[in-house]
Amino acid sequence: MEKADFYKTLEVARNASEREIKKSYRRLAMKYHPDRNTGNTDAEEKFKEIQEAYAILSDEQKRSAYDQFGHAGVDQSMGGGRGHGGDSFSDVFGDVFGDIFGGGGGGRSQVTRGADLRYNLDLSLEEAVSGMETKIKIPTSVSCTSCKGTGSKSGKSSVCSSCAGHGQVRMQQGMFSVQQTCPTCRGTGSQINDPCGKCRGTGKTKEQKTLSVKIPAGVDTGDRIRLGGEGEAGEHGGPSGDLYVQVNVRNHAIFTRDGANLYCDMPISFATAALGGELEVPTLTGKVKLKVPSETQTGKLFRLRGKGVKPVRGGPVGDLMCRVNVETPVSLTSEQKALVEQLEASFKTGGTTHHPQEHSWLDGVKSFFDKIKS
Asked if pLDDT for residue 358 goes beyond 80, the answer is: no
d(CA 75, CA 77): 6
How far, CA to CA in Å, does 29 sit from each of 15, 303, 331?
A: 21, 74, 93
Question: Does 276 have pLDDT greater than 70?
Answer: yes
342 and 361 part of one domain: yes
Split into its structural domains, the chain has a count of 4
Note the pLDDT of residue 122. 95
Q: Which amino acid is at 342?
A: Q
- What pLDDT digit, counting tens, does each position of 43-67 carry? 888 888 888 888 889 888 888 888 8
pLDDT over 80 (residue 176): no
- Between CA 210 and CA 161 the distance in angstroms is 41
Same domain, 131 and 153: yes
Tell me: do 121 and 229 sit in the same domain: yes
Task: Out of 326, 343, 363, pick the residue that ends a domain.
Answer: 326
In a domain, 268, yes or no: yes
CA 40, chain centre distance (Å): 47
- Say if 23 falls within a structural domain: yes
Backbone angles phi, psi at 239, to 5 degrees: -70, 155
Same domain, 245 and 130: yes
Pick from 245, 213, 219: which is nearest to 311 by CA? 219
Backbone angles phi, psi at 238, to 5 degrees: -70, 160
Q: Does residue 31 sit within a domain?
A: yes
Residue 48 falls inside a structural domain: yes
Percent of the chain with pLDDT over 70: 81
Indicate whether 105 belongs to any domain.
no
Mean pLDDT in the chain?
A: 81
Which DSSP state fits 252? P
Residues of the domain holding 369:
334-373
Final residue before a domain boundary, out of 40, 71, 87: 87
What digits encode the pLDDT tens for the residues 113-149?
888 999 999 999 999 999 999 999 988 777 788 887 7
Please tell me the predicted confidence (pLDDT) of residue 59. Answer: 86
Q: Look at residue 264 in the predicted model and tell me its pLDDT.
A: 95
Q: What 3 state SS string does 190-222 have?
A: EECCCECCCCCCCCEEEEEEEEEEEECCCCCCC
* Same domain as 281, residue 218: no
Instruction: Categorize the per-residue pLDDT at 351 as very low, low, confident or very high, splitting at 50, 70 and 90.
Output: low
Predicted confidence at residue 148, as pLDDT, reads 74
Give the pLDDT score at 361. 66
pTM, to two decimals: 0.55
CB 272 within 8 A of CB 292: yes
